[in-house]
Amino acid sequence: MNPLAVTHITATSCLGCGMDATLQSLRAQRSGLAPCSFETVDIKTYTGEVPGVDDIRIPERLSTFDCRNNRLAWLGLIQDGFFEAAARCAQRVGPDRVGVFLGTSTSGILQAELAYRRRDSASGALPGDFEYAETQNSFSVADFVRRALDLKGPAAVVCSACSSSAKVFGSARRMIEAGVIDAAVVGGVDSLCLTTLYGFHSLQLTSSGPCRPFDVARDGISISEAAAFALLERAGDAPIHLLGVGESSDAYHMSSPHPDGVGARSAMLHALAAADIEASEIDYINLHGTGTQTNDSSESKAVSSVFGTRVPCSSTKGATGHALGAAGALEAAICALALRHGFMPGGLNTTQIDPDLGIQYLDTNRSAPLNRVLSNSFGFGGTNCCLILGRHG
Amino acid sequence: MTELNAYVEGIGLLGPGLPDWAAGSAVFREEAPFESRPTLLPTPDSLPPAERRRTGRIVKLALAVGLEATARAAVHPSHLPTVFSSSGGDGQNCHEICQTLASGERLLSPTRFHNSVHNVAAGYWGIANGARAPSNSLCAYDASFAAGLLEALTQVVVDQSPNLLIAYDSQYPEPLFTKRPIADAFGVALLLSPERRSTSLAQLHVTFTDCPSEQMDDRGLEALRTSIPAARALPLLRALARRENKKVVVDYLDSLQMAVEVNPCS
């Protein structure tokens, strides 16, 4: 594929708002996870909540879109000058030449969960102030961001569970390559809600403590929330480029990855082929690394089958938690930080690396010049996506 | 800009009064009247029994139209990239989850939860067909059909590979129905290919426009088109069934409509 310029990128998560705060937390090996105190949730688990989301005010003209997910989207959009950069890009190429492709797994479902508590006692009707299209519907976040930025190009939400906001890079890449658009706002926004907290708990996939990816005693995920955005352009003088995207399906199980990582391996090989580089040219891998027994075992088999033990790998989910549909974009932003600063973030909370997982897992920060890094994102339904980002030139 | 062209190799259709593509074609050609009847969804025999029991209407619908399109084109789905596009996924399952979470006992069933992901149909499609090719799952609210078609077409022209588009929606129960009045299931599948084959049905060429979308003459079909997002495909399906050489405008986003030029093959 033709490399695309990543002309702007930003991330907001439990590590902080914007790239500087994210970098500082990663450098300090500070986790954003804390015992879950979200809403009325009574599960013993840790979550990565973004402080102050409920106090965010979205633009008045878009008030029907008001919900936690779109507040988080707005908070993320106004960090690092992203909003202005996207507006300048639209001015340059035309608002109809900028697409919006965002990933989410649950969008504003929390709004529906809360509305169901306020049903009319006689008729069962939902309250009149519940806006389905603008909050609950998966497309709501892309619709909101497109309107907030006054963009007029194509738009869609990719809603493929935890690979969603990695796959949007693939959709945008094809649209730009086909010439349908010249630039795209891509990213992911997912916010805490009861469906995912109680849902993952029902599958016994939430850890009772902070998640410990690749630890011998790992026992599940810590659910979190995040908003991360990137501006992709066909041509642009940017230090970081999107070099490759690889996608695949497991065809195995709805909620477990293929035990041998067949789909994950295929996604990584496709990404390398798209970038036209060898496995030996990858300097760091940001793992999906959720901290479940099955994910980390399956992913390590896939990674070692392609890269052996040569490449330093880490999961940043011990710091950020698992932001589900926003994880892919969040970790792309972390990869951008890694490339910019020659910095590989060590995985947190892992006290004893599982010796059965045959990869070079970093549990401390390491500095080294990095030219090309790879990020994995996998999701329920056996959906896999792998991104390769690199320094330009 | 690369021309957004693709050849239609197979079509699947299932909706109220439109039990399959053959029957639907006859309605679109006005050889048979349109009589709206509740959509009957087949059992997804392609799934192992354990998985089959767990599937909701939305999965049965998507699998049925996808398999119809691939069966007619004699292509095995295992190597076929797919684009699934739905305006909101499984409304019944969503209702059950919200109801449980609003109750004192917030115990969700694991199946209920994994069925809540928007890509549930794509997941089951992969399991049913051993399909390990890339698959995307989109949502664009009322624009979901055109958004799916655009995604599928860019895959065809950029990756130079065939692609199966499956656009599908199913009904919402009350109280969600009042907020999102989708009354029945409707699905359409288009198997698209980058090059013309002897079996190609038509070439599609997509551009953008600000013209209003084409309507259906039949009042029942027009009501169907406007009430179920996936049925925004109806004017395109009518042109395909009639083998018309014409440009059809289908609904996309507020300020951006999609024009699909249909050129029948021989």
Q: Is the pLDDT of residue B53 over 90?
A: no
Q: Which residues of B touch A175 (CB under 8 A)?
A: 150, 154
- With beta carbons less than 8 A apart as the criterion, state whether B155 and B147 touch: no
The neighbouring-strand residues paired with A223 are: A47, A322
Strands A4-13 and A226-233, sheet pairing? antiparallel
Confidence at B76, pLDDT banded by 50, 70, 90: confident
Rounded CA-CA distance B112/B8 in Å is 36
What is the DSSP-derived secondary structure letter of residue B204? E
To 10 degrees, the CA torsion angle through A163, A165, A170, A171? 120
| pLDDT at B242 (0 to 100) | 98
- With beta carbons less than 8 A apart as the criterion, state whether A285 and A311 touch: yes
> What is the share, in percent, of chain B residues with pLDDT greater than 90?
91
Task: Report the SS3 class of residue A328.
Answer: helix
Closest B-chain CA to A117: B102
Rounded CA-CA distance A376/A362 in Å is 16
For residues B89-118, average pLDDT: 95
> What is the share, in percent, of chain A residues with pLDDT greater than 70?
100
The neighbouring-strand residues paired with A236 are: none
Distances (CA, A) of A359 to A378, B57, B196: 18, 42, 46
Does any CB of chain A come closer than 8 Å to the CB of residue B129?
A: yes
Nearest to B140 among A119, A132, A156 (CB): A156
- With beta carbons less than 8 A apart as the criterion, state whether A372 and A221 touch: no
| pLDDT at A393 (0 to 100) | 62
Q: What is the ipTM of this complex?
A: 0.98
CB atoms near residue B210 (< 10 Å): 9
| pLDDT at A307 (0 to 100) | 98
Task: Report the SS3 class of residue A226.
Answer: strand
In tens, the pLDDT along B107-162 reads: 999 999 999 999 999 999 999 999 999 999 999 999 999 999 999 999 999 999 99
Q: Show the DSSP H helices in chain A as ranges.
A: 19-27, 68-77, 82-93, 109-115, 140-148, 164-177, 194-202, 262-275, 293-307, 317-320, 327-341
Confidence (pTM): 0.98
Q: Is the pLDDT of residue B266 over 90?
A: no
Mean pLDDT of chain B: 96
In tens, the pLDDT along B165-180 reads: 999 999 999 999 999 9
Which residues 195-214 of chain B have a CB within 8 Å of chain A? Answer: 208
Q: Which residues are CB-neighbours of A114 under 8 A, at least 6 positions away?
A: none
Distances (CA, A) of A63 to A67, A144, B17, B183: 9, 10, 40, 28
Rounded CA-CA distance A87/A81 in Å is 10
| pLDDT at A118 (0 to 100) | 98
DSSP tally for chain A: helices H, then strands E: 11, 17
Does any CB of chain A come closer than 8 Å to the CB of residue B27?
A: no
CB-count exposure of residue B212 (10 Å: 0-12, 13-18, 19+): exposed
Residues of chain A with pLDDT under 50: none
Q: Which residues of A touch B141 (CB under 8 A)?
A: 133, 137, 139-140, 143
- CA B35 to chain A, closest CA, distance in angstroms equals 30
B132 and A262 within 8 Å at the Cβ level: the answer is yes
Catalytic center residues of A = 162, 288, 322
Distances (CA, A) of B196 to B9, B60, B152, B191: 9, 30, 16, 12
| pLDDT at B223 (0 to 100) | 98
Contacts across the A-B interface (CB distance below 8 Å): 219
B119 and A247 within 8 Å at the Cβ level: the answer is no
